[in-house]
Structure 1
Amino acid sequence: MSPSPVTPVTAPPPDTASPPRRYDGTSPFPKDAPLPARTGAERVYVFVTAVIVVLPFVALGLVGWLLWGRLIHPTDIALAAVLYTVTGLGVTVGFHRGLTHGGYRAVRPVRIALAVAGSMSFQGDVIGWVATHRRHHAFTDRPGDPHSPYRYGTHLGGQLRGVLHAHVGWLFRNDRTPADRYAPDLLADRDIRAVARAFPALCVLTLALPFGLGWAIGGSWPYGVTALLWAGLVRIALLHHVTWSVNSLCHLIGDRPFRTRRHDRATNLWPLALLSFGESWHNLHHADPTSARHGVDRGQIDPSAALIRLLERLGWVYDVHWPTPERVAARRV
């Protein structure tokens, strides 16, 4: 398969992209200018976000009730594991290491497939996701970062409020990241634009698949319902919270063996490594954002890097930015 042309990835805007603000690294961020009143479309966006955040918790309650009646099947667990892996790697390999940071280039079918898989995670359309994450890197843990746990300062009350903000609260602020500024390369890519437009349909698909497969395998609709709960809603909830934990916990607790920019407190948090497919080796990622591998030390499992390596051997990705010993050593504390 011959590589198709890929639009070069635009680096996140430099630190000077926003007006300079005084920040000492410990105080609360300066107060934002008053946010604009929400339009009708933005109110719909907030409502949909609330449904996406709350619905999986409702599902957990239903699952608890179903478990009381022992209505859980091996098919539910198998489907949940498969869909968690597919959609999770779509986010980590497709959205993050590929489209956001340009850690590799992919042939067109793989690029589209990974974008579709990531969109089925229910984490937002691909262009909005990439734009927000590039903005996070441009202003990590200082004014301008959309989800820093240090927004309210480093004292105990501020940290408690900040971790809630970094984990989920930022989703409800009317603080949209402009894609034309942070992801112009994706706006110019007609394939990625099509995947972004298809996001609502892909959300329906990510729930319809477990329901349909559960019904087909089990032979009756109750099997479809339990598969929908476990492999649909609960799977989405788990992946949400793992992703959000990288935003919150991986800037608060863990090791920092590599140098990052001033005020950037990204950490390595090993308990999340497997569930996050290697994303919780977050300190190295912030020290070297374009690296296709985040877990570079012995014993640091990185399933996302393993998939990129496999795709490279198949000839489906190329120009992979693998970390070299010299590059890693230069960033080590």
Structure 2
Amino acid sequence: MARPQTPLWLTAPSRFAALKRPTAQIMLALLAILLVASMAALVSPGPPPVSHDPAQRADDEADVILYETIVAGVRGGGDYYAVTAQALRTGNYPLRPFVTFRLPTLATLQAAMPPIGTVILLYVLAAAVMLAWFIRLRPAFARAPPLAIAMVLLGGGMMAFVQPELASFHEIWAGLLIALSLALRRSDRWVEAVAFGLIAMLIRETAALYVGIMLVLAFAEGRRREAIGWGIALLALAVVVGVHAHAVSLVVRPIDPASPGWAGMLGFGFFVKTMSLSTALNLAPTWLAALLVALTLFGWAGWNDELALRAVAVFAAYAVLLSLFGRTDTFYWGLMIAPTILVGLAFVPDALRDLIAAARDKRRIIVTRMVR
């Protein structure tokens, strides 16, 4: 077994520091496979390019305009479900099944506030995420420069989340709430994490995947009270979704169009491309962005902390969701995990150095028998 070396950036050796040589070599091979697999993003389909022409906003931001229209209708005194049904019909969107209707939480909240209030609330939430992750990451890094790099990477994952024109987009809020919940969760303090996870689900029900992962891990670690907390949150969502489904059934007509389904089966490359488009990696060439997405997953896997285990599990779950069920027009599902994913690059130097050292370790224990 390799002897852990002095960490480069971290305060403690990475998860790979004490691996046995055969295991480390297997991990290196898996890393190589992950890097090669990420290149599938080069041939994966993506959303239509954005023209950036203000005259083409109706085409470039059709979903955003839809949600803005719904908020305006509710603010004007309309019933949420009637307003949403009309907006979906006008935009030629499907109205069946009921999940094509977003939960009314965000639209109702925004309709009760002036537009500037929504933007301020969004900025406050983004600032809270930055502060929570700064507090959570500070003990992990030995010096200020690596911590600063980690925070810059966090900001790179949040570029889309501080754009006022996207304030009516449900994934923007849910993604920030998931990031805040992850940062706040500790083994001895999890109530706040459950609360923010529940709010995320009430805004975008696909956040239930995150809450489900947290429940499973809490149960696997023998944390029964925490597992019950996550379970109660999921139960609350189930009740809300049941009421929501009934309300939708009252405004949908038999002739309304149905969704084509979500079995996109676009593969891992689509997940990689989605994460590139959802973060600052959108500014890099596709091949470089794809490799960095793979490395950030590797970096998270290398950080020897229970938060990293939860982050990797959540990223993997949404990777499967996007790979199997995502469509080119639902690439924004990646926003659910975008805020924090790039932070993993800050763990790569220690993780890669430790893994290579463990794979190359050739020391052997020689037992000498002395006869007197």
TM over 0.5: no
Larger radius of gyration: 2
Larger helix fraction of residues: 2
TM-score (norm 1): 0.29
- Which structure exhibits the higher relative contact order, with contacts defined as CA atoms closer than 8 Å and separated by 6 or more residues? 2
TM-score (norm 2): 0.26
